[in-house]
Amino acid sequence: MRNWLGPLAFGLILAAATAWVAIGAIPYGLMNVAMERLGQAGVNTMSYGNLANPNRQPVVRPSPDLAYSSCPYDLSVGPLAIDVTPVPGRYSSLSIFDAATDVIFVRNDVEAVGKPFRIVLAREGQAVPAGAEVVRANHDRGIALIRLLLKDPKEIGGLDAVRRQSSCATVTKLK
Amino acid sequence: MKSWHRYAITVVGGLAVGLGAAWALTGGGLTNGAIANGPWTTSLGFGTKATDPITRAMVARAGLLALPAKETVYWSAKSDAAGAKLDGNCRYRLSGKPLDARWWSVTIYDEAGYLVANPADIWSVNGANVAIDAKGEWRVAISPTRPADGAWLPGTKGQPFHLTLRMYNPGQAFRADPAKAVLPQIVKEGC
C-alpha cells in the first residue's frame, strides 16, 4: 500500500490542477462555439439572427422575446467599428463580451438617448480614429451583441429594416 | 506492479477526476446564485469582471452572453411555491403584479435550458402581453393543454421544466433589496 502513497498524492494534485485549468478554459471554449454559431455572416460582420425557437437555439437559454444581432469579432486584424441604431420607444442594447465571456461594455437605448452611436473596439495600443468613442479590450476575440425587444414575435417584420441599420466592420481609415 | 504502472493509473484517474470535478462544480446553472426569493434564485454578479472563475464558467454554461444586473436580472425557478419540482404533466398558476422593471418576461425551458416545441409556438409571457385584472394582477396558466381562457404557457407532458424571469432595467427599489422584492407566484393546481 505504501507504494501507492506517492502516485496517489500525485494523482490528487493532478486532479486539482486539471479542474482549475478546465474551469478557466470552459468560458473560452464556449465563447468560441458561440462565435461559430452566431456568426453566419462571418467575423467582423453583423449577423441578423432569426428569432429563437426550438429549431434555432445558437446559445443556451435564448430569449424568444428578443431579436439578436451579433458581431463575432477578431481584433487581430485591427479595431472594430460598431454602429448601433436604436429603435424608438423600445428596449435595445449593445453589449460587448470578450473571449472570457466578461461584459466589457453595455449601452441601452435610454442611455443612448434613442440616438444612433458608434463604438470603436480596440486592443490596447491599437491606433483608433481621432474623436472616436473607444472601448479597449484585453482579448482579440469575442462577440458584440445587439438585443432588440419585441412585444410580439410578429413585430420582427416591421422592425427588421431598422435593426439592419446597425452594423460592424473593421476600421480601415483612421481619419 | 511496477512503479510507473501505478503512476500511469493515477495520472489517468487524476485527469478524469479533475475534468469531472470541473464539470460538476460549474453545472449549477443560473439557480446557484447567492440570492433566493421564494422559488426564484439569482446572482447579481453575472457578466461582470468581478465574477470568480467558477461562477463565470457556470454562467457560460447556463446563460452565455448574460447581461450584468444593472441591465438585466435573470431569476431562475426549478420548483413551485411548495418546493416541488416543476413538472410538465401538471397545471400551475403563475401570477403576480407588474414587476419593478422597464420590461419583464417569463420563459419556459427544459432542464438543459432550451426551448421545447409546442403546437402553439409560445415559450414566454411578458409585461406587454398579459392582462391586468381589477386587483392589478396578471395570471398565466402553465399546463400541457390550453386552458379555456386566459394567457397560457405550454408545458410538455413527461418533461420537467425550468422558468427564467428576466427583468430589464430593474428599478432602484428592486436593486436595493432583490431578496425581498415581490416576484411572481408559482402555485401547482393539479396534475
Quick one: DSSP state of residue B97? P
Q: List chain A residues with CB under 8 Å of B29.
A: none
- Say yes or no: B13 contacts chain A, CB-CB below 8 A: yes
* Residues 39-58 of chain B whose Cβ lies under 8 A from any Cβ of chain A: 47-49, 51, 53-54, 56-57
Number of H helices, E strands in chain B: 3, 10
| Contact yes or no for A93 and B116 at CB 8 A | no
Partner residue facing A91 (CB), from B53, B59, B168 = B168
Task: Give the SS3 label for residue B141.
Answer: strand
Residue A125 is assigned to a structural domain of this protein: yes
More confident residue, B51 or A121: A121
Is residue A83 predicted with pLDDT exceeding 70? Answer: yes
Q: What is the pLDDT of residues B72-120, one digit of tens each?
A: 999 999 999 999 999 999 999 999 999 999 999 999 999 999 999 999 9
Q: Is residue B124 within 8 Å of residue B108, measured between CB atoms?
A: yes
- Say yes or no: B2 contacts chain A, CB-CB below 8 A: no
Partner residue facing A64 (CB), from B7, B107, B112 = B107
| Contact yes or no for A22 and B124 at CB 8 A | no
Q: In what order do the strands lie in the sheet with A80-84?
A: A134-137, A117-123, A80-84, A167-170
Question: In chain A, how many domains are there?
Answer: 1
Residue A146 is assigned to a structural domain of this protein: yes
Is residue B8 predicted with pLDDT exceeding 60? Answer: yes
| Contact yes or no for A61 and B14 at CB 8 A | no
Residue of A nearest to B7 (CA): A7
- Across chain B, mean pLDDT equals 89
Q: In what order do the strands lie in the sheet with A47-48?
A: A47-48, A66-74, A141-149, A92-98, A103-108
Quick one: DSSP state of residue B36? E
Residue A34 is assigned to a structural domain of this protein: no
Confidence of residue B55 (pLDDT cuts 50, 70, 90): confident
How far apart CA B143 and CA B134 sit, in angstroms, is 24
Distances, alpha carbon A16 to alpha carbons A8, A53, A157, in Å: 12, 39, 52
Determine which of A69-78, B126-135, B161-170 has the lowest per-residue pLDDT on average. B126-135
| Contact yes or no for A10 and B105 at CB 8 A | no
| Contact yes or no for A106 and B126 at CB 8 A | no
Q: What is the pLDDT of residues A123-146, one digit of tens each?
A: 999 999 999 999 999 999 999 999
* Count of pairs with CB atoms under 8 A, one residue in A, one in B: 165
How far apart CA A1 and CA A10 sit, in angstroms, is 15
Confidence of residue B49 (pLDDT cuts 50, 70, 90): low
Question: In chain B, how many domains are there?
Answer: 1
Is residue A169 predicted with pLDDT exceeding 90? Answer: yes
Residue-level pLDDT at B62: 72
- Across chain A, mean pLDDT equals 92
Residue of A nearest to B57 (CA): A27
Residue-level pLDDT at B156: 93
The 3 state secondary structure assigned to chain A is CHHHHHHHHHHHHHHHHHHHHHHHHHHHHHHHHHHHHHCCCCCCCCEECCCCECCECCCCCCCCCEEEEEEEEEHHHCCEEEEECCCCCCCEEEEEEECCCCEEEEEECCCCCCCCEEEEEEECCCCCCCCCCEEEECCCEEEEEEEEECCCHHHHHHHHHHHCCCEEEECCCCC
Quote the ipTM score.
0.83
Cell of A68: 439578436
Residue-level pLDDT at A173: 78
Q: List chain B residues with CB under 8 Å of A61.
A: 30, 62-63, 107, 109, 113-114, 164
Is residue B32 predicted with pLDDT exceeding 60? Answer: no
Average pLDDT over residues B157-174: 93
Confidence of residue B160 (pLDDT cuts 50, 70, 90): very high
Determine which of A9-18, B54-63, B158-167 has the lowest per-residue pLDDT on average. B54-63
Q: What is the CATH number of the domain that holds B11?
A: 2.60.120.600
Partner residue facing A65 (CB), from B3, B56, B126 = B126
Residue A19 is assigned to a structural domain of this protein: no
- Say yes or no: B121 contacts chain A, CB-CB below 8 A: yes
Residue-level pLDDT at A141: 96
Return left, alpha or beta for B163; rule: phi > 0 is left, psi -120 to 50 is alpha, else beta.
Answer: beta
| Contact yes or no for B13 and A13 at CB 8 A | no
* Percent above pLDDT 90 for chain B: 61
Residue A10 is assigned to a structural domain of this protein: no
Quick one: DSSP state of residue B19? H
Q: What number of residues does chain B have?
A: 191
Average pLDDT over residues A43-48: 95
Domain containing residue B20 = 3-190
Domain containing residue A78 = 47-170
Partners of A119 in the beta sheet? Answer: A82
The predicted model scores a pTM of 0.87
Q: What is the pLDDT of residues B106-115, one digit of tens each?
A: 999 999 999 9
Torsion of CA B99, B104, B105, B106, to 10 degrees: -40
Q: What is the CATH number of the domain that holds A142?
A: 2.60.40.1610
Closest CA to B21 of A9, A8, A11: A11
Distances, alpha carbon A106 to alpha carbons A84, A94, B67, B144, in Å: 12, 6, 8, 38
